[in-house]
Structure 1
Amino acid sequence: MRIGYYAHHHGSGHSRQADKLAALLPFALRSQMTVFTSLPNDGYRFDAIADEQIVRLSAEDQLPEDVLLGRAGEYWQPSSLHYSPVGNKNIQTRSWQLLDEIRKRQINLMIIDVSAEVAMLCRAASVPYLYVRLAGERDDEPHLNAFAGALGLLAPYPKTLEAAATPDWVRQKTLYLNFMPNKTDEPLSFTAFIDKLMTLTSDDTLYKRLSSVDIINKGSEMTFVTVIKGYGGHEAIDAKLPELRRVLPNALIISLGPIGDDMRGYVDIAAHVEDVTPFITYSDWLVMACGLNGIAQVYDCATPLVVLPDARPHREQEVMAEALIEQGRALSWSQFIAQTTTSEHQDPPSYLNKLASTESINKDRDTVISTQTNTPAHRFMDSVANYNLVKTWFEDWLLPQFDIKPKQS
């Protein structure tokens, strides 16, 4: 089947998910996948998708000449849509682009990540689609309408992280793909990791401190703390850095991503790196928000995690954090502070130790990315590669995955 993937332009995560799925297709079939996005060229660099397979859509921002605002209020806006300006030339153009390219490229199935408006456009045009469900509490009418209009729902996270408030029918119509790891470079040895850290500092005292690290015992005398921040907002995590330094005065604290100038004095190293894997692998603590791609990368690693969820619509990150804490996979900030201030040796808490006996957690800290090829995401992409007709695929492969069925006559 020829697949179209609509990737929302807020952040690079939606395009990254498309890239991950495309990479699971046989190389010869990747040309049958098209990505639709209004994310600019420099917003994300695709690895598995060639430039000619990307349709750059017009923006959907509000314009001064709009006849009605995108959120015009009760009695002026369809309850099935989140945002629907009237008379917006860009949105008219992007709608024509979508439908015209779907027709010209003979796309059989759309994957929508995420937009209630694109979902309704496809349903009205009789284009089959799957809808990507993000974490959080998405029980508003536009989301529920988008879910109902889909052939099925895709959750790019494990079922164990599902929000408690999710309706049963939505769960029953969802294919859980679990986390798909990000692309990484070849794993660094601990020695190479220390060498890399030394290239990230010009502080002579810190350089000497790193030079004296016990390589054989993987720096057992030094606590490594890595704070990972994305570009969707870092101020809330930055605000915790003074307290982090207070409770771990002797730790080597590394900040990856953006950082406020007034917070640099609380960390030993502040850097931007292409691959965070070695920092995840060799840290004693990770401090980060709960974005989907970030959690996907750390979920199967045994390094203790402290979560500081960003405030997002639909409690997206808060729900993820709550589930991780409930599983014993992560600590809240208050739990972390309580642990570090009461433990003389600042060891990870005992209820995180159970990770070592959990099959889903990687026991080998030198290997973060799974080599399994029989994951739910692999099976899903194999299915769309093996079927030519959406109807046959839907009836023979997809529907048997669900506990809910449509009327067939």
Structure 2
Amino acid sequence: MRIGYYAHHHGSGHCRQADKLAVLLPPTLRSQITVFTSFPNDGYRFSAIADEQIVRLSAEDQLPEDVLPGRAGEYWQPSSLHYSPVGNGNVQTRSWQLLNEIRQRRIDLMIIDVSAEVAMLCRTASVPYLYVRLAGERDDKPHLNAFAGALGLLAPYPKALEASATPDWVRQKTLYLDFMPNKTDELLTFTAFINKLMTLTTDNTIHERLYSRLDAVNKSAEDNANEGNIVTVIKGYGGHDAIDAKLPELRRALPNALIISLGPINDEARDYVDIAAHVDDVTPFIAYSDLLLMACGLNGIAQAYDYATPLIVLPDERPHREQEVMAEALIEQGRALSWAQFIGQTSSLGSQDIPSFLSVNNKSINNESVINESINTDKTALTGNQANMLAQEFMDSFADYTSVKAWFEEWLLPQLGIKPER
């Protein structure tokens, strides 16, 4: 089947998600995927999808000449849409682009990540679609209408992290694909990781601390527990002010830790970290740090979820409580602590290096028994396998069918355990 993938332009994550799914297909079938997006060309470089497979859509920003703005109020706004300007030339052009390219490229099935408006356009044009559900509480009418109009729903996260308020019918209509980690190079050894940290700073004092940590590799976990704990703060480009504001308090809570900040950082926050850097691959930092502090964006949590490294979550404020719901689920699972829990427990224990309550030794995470030996040993993900079997089965199903009708009736509906009314 020929698949179309609509990737929303808010952040690179939607394009990245398309890339993650495409890489699961053999190259011959990969060429039949088309990505539709208005995300800028220089904002994300696809690894599994060629340029000729990408349709760059017109923007949908509000224009001065619009007859009605995108959100015109209760009596001027269809309840099935979040944003629907009237007389907007760009929106008209992108709608024509979508439908024309779907027809010319003979797209059999669309995957919409995410847009209630594109979902309604496809439904009214009788184009079959699957809708990607992000985390959070998405119980407004536009979302529920987009869900109802889809053949099925896709959740790029584990079912265990589902919002408690999600309606039963939405859960039943959803394929949970679990997290799909970014494709990374082979994990560095701990020695190589320490050597990489050396290149990120010219401070001789920090170099000495890193050498000391490296010397402790052959000691027991108990002996090296206080040999310069490494705390990594991971921030994305969608917002980092809230985490930067916590850095002074983090330093006071863990005065002896080596604190590393990855991603953007405000100038006034630099004094509270030992190393501030931008890196292409955060995986070694996730694997070998003694503690992580990060927001709850989908891609970031997908990378960290299957590692045993203790996690402090500080969710950004996003529409539909997207990150807050993710954080609440991680905390409920015992996979993470909130900032308040972390500060409260460090305060009760007194300032020290990574407290014992953050140890995940012998803790059950992601439904698997984890024995986290020394942080200094070479590590793999807790699952032991980065490949995502559920997502792989989903993508393999497209290779097994040439008809959407047959795929829907013979593969998707049995997966969901429900059938539409006739």
Deviations 1:223-243 (CA, angstroms, capped at 9, x unpaired): 100000000000000000000
- Does residue 64 of structure 1 match 2:64? yes
Aligned match for 2:282, one of 261, 276, 286: 276
Distance 2:206 2:379 in 1: 24
- Does residue 366 of structure 1 match 2:389? no
Distance 2:247 2:358 in 1: 24
> What are the equivalent positions in structure 2 for 1:383-394 lying under 5 Å apart?
383-394=397-408
Distance 1:302 1:361 in 2: 11
Question: Following TM superposition, by how much is the alpha carbon of 1:341 offset from its aligned partner in structure 2, in angstroms?
Answer: 2.7
Distance 2:285 2:325 in 1: 25
- Does residue 400 of structure 1 match 2:408? no
Distance 1:267 1:115 in 2: 39
| Aligned 8 A contact 1:311 1:317 in 2 | yes
| Aligned 8 A contact 1:225 1:253 in 2 | yes
Deviations 1:171-229 (CA, angstroms, capped at 9, x unpaired): 01000000011111221111111111110002122122223323424864111000000
Structure 2 residue matching 1:254: 3-state secondary structure: strand
Moved more, 197-206 or 162-171: 197-206
Distance 2:104 2:399 in 1: 20
Structure 2 residue matching 1:6: 3-state secondary structure: strand
For the structure 1 residues 166 and 251, does the alpha-carbon distance in structure 2 shift closer, same or farther, using more than 3 Å as the test?
same
Question: Following TM superposition, by how much is the alpha carbon of 1:6 offset from its aligned partner in structure 2, in angstroms?
Answer: 0.3
Distance 2:7 2:218 in 1: 44
| Aligned 8 A contact 1:71 1:82 in 2 | yes
Equivalenced residue count is 408
> What are the equivalent positions in structure 2 for 1:84-103 lying under 5 Å apart?
84-103=84-103
Question: Which segments of 5 or more consecutive residues in structure 2 lack a partner in the other structure?
Answer: 373-377
Question: Which segments of 5 or more consecutive residues in structure 1 lack a partner in the other structure?
Answer: none
For the structure 1 residues 205 and 373, does the alpha-carbon distance in structure 2 shift closer, same or farther, using more than 3 Å as the test?
closer
Distance 2:353 2:171 in 1: 43
For the structure 1 residues 357 and 53, does the alpha-carbon distance in structure 2 shift closer, same or farther, using more than 3 Å as the test?
closer
Deviations 1:64-106 (CA, angstroms, capped at 9, x unpaired): 1111000000111110000000111111111111111101110
Distance 1:86 1:67 in 2: 5
* Seq. identity, %: 76
> TM-score, structure 2 length as denominator?
0.93
Structure 2 residue matching 1:186: 3-state secondary structure: coil
Distance 2:40 2:58 in 1: 10
Question: Following TM superposition, by how much is the alpha carbon of 1:347 offset from its aligned partner in structure 2, in angstroms?
Answer: 2.7
Deviations 1:24-47 (CA, angstroms, capped at 9, x unpaired): 011211000011010011111111
> What are the equivalent positions in structure 2 for 1:146-295 lying under 5 Å apart?
146-215=146-215, 216-217=217-218, 220=225, 221-295=227-301
- Residue 28 of structure 1 corresponds to 28
| Aligned 8 A contact 1:304 1:348 in 2 | no
- Residue 14 of structure 1 corresponds to 14
- Residue 381 of structure 1 corresponds to 395
Distance 2:371 2:102 in 1: 45
Moved more, 239-248 or 354-363: 354-363
Distance 1:361 1:316 in 2: 28
| Aligned 8 A contact 1:169 1:404 in 2 | no
For the structure 1 residues 362 and 60, does the alpha-carbon distance in structure 2 shift closer, same or farther, using more than 3 Å as the test?
farther
For the structure 1 residues 16 and 335, does the alpha-carbon distance in structure 2 shift closer, same or farther, using more than 3 Å as the test?
same
Distance 1:9 1:332 in 2: 30
Distance 1:353 1:62 in 2: 53
* Equivalent AA in structure 2 for residue 342 of structure 1: S
For the structure 1 residues 17 and 305, does the alpha-carbon distance in structure 2 shift closer, same or farther, using more than 3 Å as the test?
same
Aligned match for 1:355, one of 352, 357, 363: 363
Distance 1:260 1:345 in 2: 25
| Aligned 8 A contact 1:330 1:352 in 2 | no
| Aligned 8 A contact 1:290 1:307 in 2 | yes
| Aligned 8 A contact 2:25 2:395 in 1 | yes
Moved more, 34-43 or 396-405: 396-405
Distance 2:192 2:149 in 1: 51
* Equivalent AA in structure 2 for residue 383 of structure 1: S
- Does residue 309 of structure 1 match 2:323? no
Structure 2 residue matching 1:157: 3-state secondary structure: coil
Distance 1:106 1:362 in 2: 47
